[in-house]
Amino acid sequence: MADPKGFLNHGREVAESRPVDVRLKDWNEVYVPGSLLPIISKQASRCMDCGIPFCHNGCPLGNLIPEWNDYAYREDWAAASERLHATNNFPEFTGRLCPAPCESACVLGINQPAVTIKNVEVSIIDKAWDGGDVAPQIPERLSGKTVAVIGSGPAGLAAAQQLTRAGHTVAVYERADRVGGLLRYGIPEFKMEKRHINRRIEQMRAEGTRFRTGIEIGRDLKATDLKKRYDAVVIAAGATTARDLPVPGRELNGIHQAMEYLPLANKVQEGDFVAPPITAEGKHVVVIGGGDTGADCVGTAHRQGAASVTQLEIMPKPGEDRAPNQPWPTFPMLYKVTSAHEEGGERVYSVSTTHFEGDEDGNVQWLHLVEVEFVDGKLTQKPGTERKIPAQLVTLAMGFTGTDRENGLVEQFGLELDERGNIARDADFQTNVPGVFVAGDAGRGQSLIVWAIAEGRSAARGCDRFLTGASDLPAPIKPTDRSLTV
């Protein structure tokens, strides 16, 4: 145990954010660099090592949180990093981007603010990189087996790293021009600077993983040909089909899916464009969808100089405390103020878009909405509450319905889908096609980075067993596991 009185002597302190007017002028991460280190050992000492660490179960990866809290308290960063990597390939991603369901399950959180587990995690990995403690782990011998991984998001990267370290020869196929999936093209720079991905890819290359970008399996290379070339395949193609809003006026210029808008801002940061082809500059922006993707649009629009930003959500505003049906240690749906929301804009709840209105050139100018409420368990429009708000750029951030069905990948492999439209798999993450596995959002549906990494690790074990008859790789989750979180 770190310090028996840590939780009595120290309150919860989190990473310090840069002032809003300063951070809106750039795209760097919102936190003050180096602000965690002076406080993190004390914060780690708040861990009670409570005997039954519910945080292990709250974290889909089963991260060994009390163990690395102890090392962080003692400032033994190399040992902390070893414990952290025992269950998580990419703690620099989760330590920045995870909604931290572990903290919702922290025992201290029953009657006090939870341990800042996520901040401890990111401090350990940042120290480990700075101290040269993250070295490539090159396999001692090769198995002679080959694996193709389709998709380079967190699920594909985790599967590829595990399989490479198990001695297989792994090639990752990615249709985009750079690797990283939604970590690269989706999540904005101000939430995670892309240098963190680049550094990890260098480690993976040094370990032997090969990357083939700009190749879409199904279109550029037939799935059947890929299967012939490799001993096994892991599909980690994500759930990239976006939900649409088929209301009158949807065809007007200036209405875009969030994933048409956000990657262009990422590409400016990568140096591909001087200015984004779709920009919020000087415009009244409306973001439809109250979730994290919507919040990323809000932060991006503010940095591009929007005249105003309004975020609409059809559901009622969540509460600030746990509802009775979401008790500790579950992950509750609470009202969240993200860094993007601290930066401005208006959030409007319980409203539904009825139609869009444009000018004579076909450009969207107004969004018409109506208030809604639950009547007999059904969302119903409230008569007399119709109004319109200015909208010169609209982004749709209403979630994703499943993996891409247009490139032929599903049909060419002959894959079965489950009742939710995701790629079906068995207890080993194997699809109905022997030797073809699935991990991440493609099999699970739209989810989180931490689940994608857990799925990638588990599918790697299933794949390793298929190739060699046995596996020493860990499998943190079962395909059906939804644990304490989403």
Ligand X SMILES: Cc1cc2nc3c(=O)[nH]c(=O)nc-3n(C[C@H](O)[C@H](O)[C@H](O)COP(=O)(O)OP(=O)(O)OC[C@H]3O[C@@H](n4cnc5c(N)ncnc54)[C@H](O)[C@@H]3O)c2cc1C
For ligand X, the binding residues (CB under 6 A) are 97-98, 150-156, 173-176, 181-182, 186-187, 191, 216-218, 236-238, 240, 262, 292-293, 296, 404, 407, 409, 440-442, 447-450, 452
Nearest to 151 by CA among 190, 185, 116: 185
242 beta partners: 400
Is residue 117 involved in binding ligand SF4 (CB under 6 A)? yes
In whole angstroms, the minimum distance from the beta carbon of 435 to ligand X comes to 17
Give me the helix-helix angle, 117-130 and 77-85, nearest 10°: 110
User: Distance between alpha carbon 198 and the CA centroid of its chain, in Å?
Assistant: 17
Is residue 285 involved in binding ligand SF4 (CB under 6 A)? no
> Which does residue 100 bind out of ligand SF4, ligand X, none, counting CB within 5 to 8 angstroms by kind?
ligand SF4
Is residue 63 involved in binding ligand SF4 (CB under 6 A)? yes
At 341, which helix (H) or strand (E)? helix 339-342
> Which does residue 31 bind out of ligand SF4, ligand X, none, counting CB within 5 to 8 angstroms by kind?
none
Nearest to 345 by CA among 259, 276, 286: 286
Alpha carbons 319 and 321: distance in angstroms, whole number? 6
Beta carbon nearer to ligand X, 172 or 364? 172
Place of tokens 């302190």: 13
> Which does residue 290 bind out of ligand X, ligand SF4, none, counting CB within 5 to 8 angstroms by kind?
none
Q: Which range touches ligand SF4 (CB under 6 A), out of 96-104, 160-168, 171-179, 370-378? A: 96-104
In whole angstroms, the minimum distance from the beta carbon of 118 to ligand SF4 comes to 4
Is residue 59 involved in binding ligand SF4 (CB under 6 A)? yes
Beta carbon nearer to ligand X, 97 or 398? 97
Alpha carbons 166 and 458: distance in angstroms, whole number? 13
Alpha carbons 486 and 484: distance in angstroms, whole number? 7
Report which DSSP code applies to 228. Answer: H
Beta carbon nearer to ligand X, 293 or 392? 293
Q: Which residues contact 238 (CB under 8 A, 6 or more apart)?
A: 151, 153, 155, 181, 182, 403, 404, 440, 441, 442
> Which does residue 65 bind out of ligand X, ligand SF4, none, counting CB within 5 to 8 angstroms by kind?
ligand SF4
Q: Residue 277: helix, strand or coil by DSSP? A: coil
Is residue 44 involved in binding ligand SF4 (CB under 6 A)? no
> Which does residue 236 bind out of ligand X, ligand SF4, none, counting CB within 5 to 8 angstroms by kind?
ligand X
Beta carbon nearer to ligand SF4, 98 or 158? 98
C-alpha angle 84/120/24, rounded to 5°?
120
Alpha carbons 366 and 370: distance in angstroms, whole number? 13
Beta carbon nearer to ligand SF4, 117 or 393? 117
Please identify which residue in 80, 98, 236, 297 interacts with ligand SF4, judged by CB under 6 A. Answer: 98
Give me the count of residues in the chain. Answer: 486
Beta carbon nearer to ligand SF4, 97 or 415? 97
Which spans of this chain sit near ligand SF4 (rule: CB under 6 A)? Answer: 59, 61, 63, 65, 94, 98, 100-102, 117-118, 121, 450
